[in-house]
A and B are shown apart, each in its own frame.
Chain A
Amino acid sequence: MKRLLYVLLLLPGLAQAGGTISASGARFRYLLPQIPAGGYVTLKNDRDHKIIVTGASSPACGMLMLHESKDESGMAMMMAVKSVTIEAHQSFSFAPDGYHLMCDKPLMKIGQMVPVTLAFADGTSMVIGFQVGGAGTQ
């Protein structure tokens, strides 16, 4: 499993299942070990059907959750989301001030590449290498 993981890390952007989901710009904004790191990535779904991201995990995070910062009823808030749907041949960005991955209890260092596994509703998953940056990560 570990070897497979590293092979996938060497080929960032290749999906484990299907080979038609690609990832770009994967990065964490890391500040301190006791402060959650924000994760961002753009996913491109080149499949002929929609994909649904249902969860994320990483050995570099105590817990990794899908979150969204959004305005609601005139107030801005951040909340956990259960899934993110990407329609066929569409892209979706986890980006600052919107959808993001919240990495609680991060175990990472600036400059590292850490693996994140995204789980999809069809039971498949994808490992993406996330570049760890500091406060200026946008």
Chain B
Amino acid sequence: MAIFSPPVLTRRALGGLCAAGAIGGLVRSARAEDAPPSVNVSGTFPKLQFDMTLASTGKSVTGADFHGHPVILYFGFTRCPDTCPLTMHNAAELVKSMGKLGTKMRVLFVTVDIEHDTLPLLKAYMANFGAPPVFDGLRGTAAQTAAFAKRYGVGYSAPTSPDAPDPVSAISHTDAIYAFGPDGAARYIIGSLADARPDLPAIAGIMRPLARRAA
């Protein structure tokens, strides 16, 4: 058996964030055990903008297609066995806890493993957590994915073959959970959504005002 080496990066884009902006210190402090569940990044991160393909429909979408809804954006990959499904499940619980306002939310899972994560697989994966249009996956070409990730300071590397034997050593990505307002403006990084015991009421508390302004 091969000896597996790191890394799969599955939480909080610290490296990426530091590269992307001057808020590294803020985010770093947000990682402490007693840290707030989110960090306000209003004005420091770019608006929601991308060109990708939507898993549920197979159609091309842009960031503008999600304006009118608060968006939770997550970069991950389906072969990640621990924190990616944990994060998506937490997002599902968050949406449920918001009741009717939860239906205004859009939770978008962006795959960084485009060779493995086909649109049908991404669609089936997201169905584990919720139905579209609230839960959906985004897949792009290599260039589209790279541009999207770069915009939000997410670094990743992924295998070039869908049959790469060891996804753990082959895929790595910095990972963060971003929340955007219905106007597309970046509002929060919700690091705690990747925790085993997230403070969902606190996260719902910051998302509800955004959802109330939804279309």
Segment of B5-13, B34-42, B48-56, B136-144 engaged in the interface with chain A: B5-13
A-B pairs with beta carbons under 8 A, tally: 116
Point out the residues of chain B lying under 8 angstroms from A67, CB to CB: 81-82, 168
* Option from A74, A96, A135 in Cβ contact (under 8 Å) with B196: A96
Contact, CB under 8 Å: B82 / A96: yes
| Chain A 120-138 per-residue mask, 1 if CB under 8 angstroms from chain B, else 0 | 0000000000000011101
Contact, CB under 8 Å: A37 / B196: no
Q: Give residues 82-98 of A contacting B (CB, 8 Å).
A: 95-98
Q: Give residues 1-58 of B contacting A (CB, 8 Å).
A: 1, 3-12, 14-15, 18, 28, 31
CA distance A69 to B80 in the complex (A): 10
Query: A33: nearest residue on chain B (CB-CB)?
Result: B124
* Option from A35, A79, A136 in Cβ contact (under 8 Å) with B79: A35
Q: Give residues 47-100 of A contacting B (CB, 8 Å).
A: 63, 65, 67, 69, 71-72, 74-80, 95-98, 100
Contact, CB under 8 Å: B175 / A76: yes
Point out the residues of chain B lying under 8 angstroms from A10, CB to CB: none
Point out the residues of chain A lying under 8 angstroms from B103, CB to CB: none
CA distance A10 to B59 in the complex (A): 50
CA distance A136 to B168 in the complex (A): 23
The smallest C-beta distance from B103 to any residue of chain A, in angstroms, reads 19
* Option from A63, A74, A78, A134 in Cβ contact (under 8 Å) with B82: A78
* Chain A binding surface SS class: strand
Contact, CB under 8 Å: B194 / A97: yes
Contact, CB under 8 Å: A78 / B89: no
Contact, CB under 8 Å: A100 / B81: yes
**B125 close to chain A: CB less than 8 A:** yes
**A31 close to chain B: CB less than 8 A:** yes
Contact, CB under 8 Å: B88 / A135: yes
Given A35-B125, A78-B83: A135 and B7 within 8 A (CB)? no
The smallest C-beta distance from B162 to any residue of chain A, in angstroms, reads 10
* Option from B4, B11, B124 in Cβ contact (under 8 Å) with A80: B4
Given A74-B14, A97-B86, A135-B85: A32 and B196 within 8 A (CB)? no
Contact, CB under 8 Å: A36 / B196: no
Contact, CB under 8 Å: B175 / A38: no
Given A31-B125, A69-B82, A79-B5: A74 and B15 within 8 A (CB)? yes
14 contacts between A and B (CB under 8 A): A29-B85, A34-B78, A65-B4, A71-B11, A75-B9, A75-B12, A75-B174, A76-B14, A77-B9, A77-B10, A78-B7, A102-B81, A134-B128, A136-B92
Chain B residues within 8 Å of A, Cβ to Cβ = 1, 3-12, 14-15, 18, 28, 31, 78-83, 85-86, 88-89, 92, 121, 124-125, 128-129, 167-168, 172, 174-175, 194-196
